Amino acid sequence: MLSAAKKEFIEFMMSADVLRFGDFITKSGRNTPYFVNTGNYKTGLQSAKLGEFYAAFIKETIGDRFDAMFGPAYKGIPLVTTTAGALARLYQIDKPYFFNRKEAKDHGEGGNTVGYTPKDGDRIIIIEDVITAGTAIRETMPVLKGCADVTVTDMFISVNRCEVGKTPGKTAVMEVAEEFGIQVHALITVQDIYAYLKEQGTYGQVLGAMEAYMEQYCVFA
């Protein structure tokens, strides 16, 4: 069932040209008929609204049961920043956040993270855009474990593409859960996008391409 909140988020992404339809290649090298590029959010209002969507979802899912938020460079940086602001502003959940540099800084205070410095025992949540093949999370975990003896409990993403990862029959999200013990929560899934387009009645060609793509690459629990 496509909820009002999911429908609103899909329309928000489309209005910002973040959710696009056509012919694209994902980071994992797959040709896809739809693409999510959070780098296309470019106004203050879009950023604020995006943070509100994430904050509401986090509040509803885990409340304040975490110590800090991490945003992987680069797209996770504005995501974690706006989400932290919205959580504090709307729900009085004022939690620290931090993000990584792609290259370690060799002057000043040094290090490869910016913002909060994690401590042993911290429960960290990750704020990201999408998971396609799980490549980014495998790059992120060594960064977090290199900071302190932290536990990464949950990860919040815009879209679960429900695509098979490295193991046949398992999505990248399933693999992340098994490999790292992380619960991945998506504001919407590829099934939600498909249901929305079908409801509109004007996306016949895209629906056909999505059906073929999902049949080839997607796994639904």
How is 13-32 classified by DSSP, letter by letter? Answer: HHHTT-EEEEEEE-TTS-EE
Q: What is the pLDDT of residue 107?
A: 46
Please pick, among 107, 119, 170, 185, the residue that the annotation labels catalytic: 107
From first to last of its 221 residues, what are the pLDDT tens digits of the chain?
789 999 999 999 999 999 999 999 877 788 899 999 888 999 999 999 999 999 999 999 999 999 999 999 888 999 999 999 999 999 999 999 999 887 655 544 546 888 999 999 999 999 999 876 677 788 889 889 888 999 999 999 999 999 888 888 899 889 889 989 999 999 999 999 999 999 998 898 999 999 999 999 999 87
Q: Is 35 helix (H, G, I), strand (E, B) or coil?
A: strand
This prediction has a pTM of 0.91
3-state secondary structure 123-142: EEEEECCEECCCHHHHHHHH
Half-sphere exposure of residue 9, counting CA atoms within 13 Å on the CB side? 25
Whose tokens are 């977090």? That residue is 144
Q: Return the closest-CA partner of residue 33 out of 219, 218, 221.
A: 218
Domain chopping of the chain, boundaries: 4-217
- CB contact at 8 A, 60 and 45: no
Two tokens, residue 45: 């209002």
Determine whether 6 is an active site residue. Answer: no
Determine whether 107 is an active site residue. Answer: yes
- Please give the class, per CATH, of domain 4-217: alpha beta
CA distance linking residue 1 with residue 185, whole number of Å: 17
Q: What is the pLDDT of residue 103?
A: 66
Contacts of 221 (CB under 8 A, 6+ apart): 171, 174
CA distance linking residue 176 with residue 115, whole number of Å: 25
Please pick, among 42, 105, 119, 166, the residue that the annotation labels catalytic: 105
